[in-house]
Amino acid sequence: KNQVEQSPQSLIILEGKNCTLQCNYTVSPFSNLRWYKQDTGRGPVSLTIMTFSENTKSNGRYTATLDADTKQSSLHITASQLSDSASYICVVTSGGYNKLIFGAGTRLAVHP
């Protein structure tokens, strides 16, 4: 069964600190892995997309890694800001029709 699991479920950090979110998946066939940021009351917004051959991708203070052998990905946030407070969703794309399999997300709260 295709599944995407994220940890932790929720996380609280202080402004300026770094954090790392985890994503494990069992999806076949694998096409690519995406990280989305979803602010409260808004739709998800794409942060990074990585294919099988990529093992790291950065977008500003966000850096995603992918280990296709162990089927794990992480999202590292550097020097967190209050605006980083959101849910971060890991999504794995399977097959040729762009079928997205969503994780439940990690809810991040950045406190001053």
Partner 1 sequence: EAGVAQSPRYKIIEKRQSVAFWCNPISGHATLYWYQQILGQGPKLLIQFQNNGVVDDSQLPKDRFSAERLKGVDSTLKIQPAKLEDSAVYLCASSLLQGGGTDTQYFGPGTRLTVL
Peptide bond connecting 112 to the previous residue in cis, omega within 30 degrees of 0: no
- Six-digit token string for 87: 């849910």
Stretch of 17-25, 41-49, 63-71, 78-86 contacting partner 1, by CB under 8 A: 41-49
Beta-strand runs (E) in 17-61: 19-26, 30-38, 45-51, 56-59
Q: Which C-beta is closer to partner 1: that of 89 or that of 110? A: 89
Q: Which C-beta is closer to partner 1: that of 74 or that of 78? A: 74
Stretch of 11-19, 38-46, 61-69, 72-80 contacting partner 1, by CB under 8 A: 38-46
Q: How far apart are CA 91 and CA 105, in angstroms?
A: 9
Positions in the binding site for partner 1 (CB under 8 A): 4, 31-32, 41-46, 49, 51, 89, 91, 95-100, 102-105
